[in-house]
Chain A
């Protein structure tokens, strides 16, 4: 209960923002917050986290807010890497062979979700394979 008090602001904000499937529980001195929300809410919750626990140094919260759970197959995705191209791989993991690349800010479509980290995408050129979800941002509308 102590951790729920420490991170109360996050829990309250997540509730107020209508986070779906919100789960908050504590185990062995770590608080776990899971749920699905849009990207704006996710960012807001993470900024609160950083405010309460600068540098995330306490290690007493594991927060997993999924902002892409609502993305449907066929949805358009923008490649949002920092600067480089995004690798398209044969399988879900960086140990798998690179079979293609998608340019930064290119728009691709979602074929299938393998898991939260790896999605199968298809470029307009017909290249299809696994890419890391962290660099895929759903195109609004």
Chain B
């Protein structure tokens, strides 16, 4: 009897200890585990770009750049859904979109196109609403030079459907 009691006590203690640690693990993940989980979740997010995650006491802080507000909101939602995340601090910044392309007005574009075409006999072009439509015949080797010259004039588009190879 003297020996049995401590043994039972020891077993009870051991079970209690095991139970405590295992449930403890389930309830409280380490911040590093949560960070890794959030990072994995964000990687699956197609819109996220340069996001950094920091987790402290279950609070996930997101920083970095997102391409738009939708991406920012969606990253926050993704992070918040990760197990163990208590709350999300969204410090993501939305990058300014690049300025829209500058399209030349038709008049200066037309004269610039005429200047450029001087070097390419047999090629002519018209300009309308910023679109250069090229017609005629050209040596295949000269086509690239022609395109370099025309696309540098800030057109909306260069249409070469009417241009055939010599």
Bound Cα distance A135, B116 (Å) = 11
Q: List the interface of chain A (C-beta within 8 A of B).
A: 23-25, 27-28, 30, 32, 34, 42, 46-47, 49-50, 55-57, 59-60, 62-64, 66, 82, 93-95, 116-117, 132, 134-135
Bound Cα distance A135, B148 (Å) = 12
Interface of A (DSSP majority class): mixed
Q: Cβ of A25 and Cβ of B160 under 8 Å apart?
A: no
- Residue B114 at the A interface, CB < 8 A? yes
Q: Cβ of B99 and Cβ of A117 under 8 Å apart?
A: no
How many residues of B sit at the interface, in one of the four size bands? 20 to 34
Q: List the interface of chain B (C-beta within 8 A of A).
A: 97-101, 111-112, 114-116, 118-119, 140, 143-145, 147-149, 151-161, 165
Q: Cβ of B156 and Cβ of A30 under 8 Å apart?
A: yes
- Tell me which residues across on chain A come within 8 A of B147, comparing CB atoms: 46, 49, 56
Q: Cβ of B115 and Cβ of A62 under 8 Å apart?
A: no
Closest to B146 in A: A56
Q: Cβ of B114 and Cβ of A94 under 8 Å apart?
A: yes
Closest to A23 in B: B98
- Tell me which residues across on chain B come within 8 A of A60, comparing CB atoms: 157
Q: Cβ of B111 and Cβ of A25 under 8 Å apart?
A: no
Bound Cα distance A50, B154 (Å) = 19
Task: Indicate whether A94 sits within 8 Å of B119 (C-beta atoms), given known contacts A23-B98, A59-B158, A64-B152.
Answer: no
Task: Indicate whether A25 sits within 8 Å of B155 (C-beta atoms), given known contacts A46-B144, A56-B143.
Answer: no
Known: A117-B115, A117-B116. 5 other contacts (CB 8 A): A24-B98, A27-B100, A55-B143, A62-B156, A93-B115
